[in-house]
Amino acid sequence: EVESEDNFSTWKAKVALTPGSEHTITVAVEDEHGNVDTEAATAVVHQQAWDKEFPNNDNVFLSAEGITYDEEGHRVFISDGDVSARLIIEVDLATGKRTEFFNGTADFSGPAALAIDKSRKRLLVTNTVASNIFSLSLEGEVDEKVLTSSPHEDEGQPSLYSPRGIVLDPEDPDRAFVTASTSNNLAELDLRTGLRTLLSDNETPDEENPFRQPRGLLVDHNNNRILVGSSTGGRDVLSVDKQTGERTIFSGTDTGGGDIDLFCPESLGSDRIAKRILVGDCGRGIIAIDIDTGERALIKALVDPQLASHGMHLYVEEGWEVLYYVDSQHRALLMLDLETEEQVILSKGTRPD
């Protein structure tokens, strides 16, 4: 039975699935003039036990540290920060198949945060061990290049040791913002030249609300600020003024409240930036934070929460009704419906005992 509350501008239907089976769901539509399309959309759904691999056990990521989505290729990229890997893994969202997109060299070590530079058709990768940012082409040959690094030939450049977060400025296609965990700073990155400009560190503009291993970040252009996550050393999401670099606590141990505390809010995104942000927390799950009050609510708890760290890195865009996230402990890429809070496995390897 199909249900709609807006004259079928949107609709939903419940379909019964048989365990251990593959299902092909076909949508047939008819418009007001009687025109019929018997195969307007098709989806293949496979139901199986959580601990099984899908679609196979090839190219399994060992320690997922970042995720991003490539709209043109309808694929997800996942960085594997395992010391033995140095990999960027590509996941075909139509099949769940994982392939090796890039296998790094000595200068490509500890890949973490990812971002798509759409105007230049390239993937940007922060490397925590090598302390640099790589550029990988999305067309033709990968054509790997070091965009910026620390140390830098220009001694005036701010330090970039263990970069853990990168996000493009939605209002300036030539600028990105980067966090460096060991350097405890936030810098602007010129995407044309690779030069960095310090925006905020634990002495700039002052020592108030210091960074403690800053991680993922999100530009809140409505409020002229950048929201910055942290590791277990901070357990806060900070707000950084885009002009002055001034830091305040947006939500944390003593701020915001709600039904859950932050443990390691490492990954940030938003489906409705005017209302809330979404946080991937390695010790809690996925948390929604009210944009005005900082109040927190858990929307997706961890699977097997006794495990030490899940690496809950997420990707979502404004207006989306779903988000993609990677559960590193379970070697799984999942899609979460933000309305129903139900999830679907898109790709998964088996976790070693």
Written in H, E and C, the secondary structure of 33-57 is CCCEEEEEEEEEEECCCCCCCECCC
Distance separating alpha carbons of residues 62 and 65, to the nearest angstrom: 10
| Amino acid at residue number 196 | R
Predicted local confidence at residue 79, as pLDDT: 97
Cα distances from 166 to residues 47, 226, 266, 343, in angstroms, run: 35, 11, 12, 26
Predicted local confidence at residue 42, as pLDDT: 77
CA 129 to the chain's CA centroid? 20
Distance separating alpha carbons of residues 178 and 165, to the nearest angstrom: 5
CB 290 within 8 A of CB 302: no
Predicted local confidence at residue 233, as pLDDT: 79
Q: How do strand 111-117 and strand 122-127 relate by DSSP bridges?
A: antiparallel
Residue pLDDT tens, the chain, 353 long: 788 888 877 778 888 877 777 778 888 888 889 899 988 877 777 777 888 999 999 999 989 999 999 999 999 999 998 877 789 999 999 999 999 999 987 789 999 999 999 999 999 999 999 999 999 999 999 999 999 999 888 889 999 999 999 999 999 999 999 999 999 999 999 999 999 999 999 999 999 999 999 999 999 999 999 999 998 778 999 999 999 999 999 999 888 889 899 999 999 999 999 999 999 999 999 999 999 999 999 999 998 776 556 789 999 999 999 999 999 989 999 999 999 999 999 999 986 65
The per-residue b/e assignment along 199-231, b for 16 or more CB within 10 angstroms, e otherwise, is bbbeebeeeebebbbbbbbbbbeebebbbbbbb
Structure tokens at 190: 């010129």
CB 274 within 8 A of CB 289: no
Q: How do strand 36-46 and strand 64-70 relate by DSSP bridges?
A: unpaired
Distance separating alpha carbons of residues 23 and 250, to the nearest angstrom: 44
Predicted local confidence at residue 353, as pLDDT: 56
Helix (H, G, I), strand (E, B) or coil at 223: helix
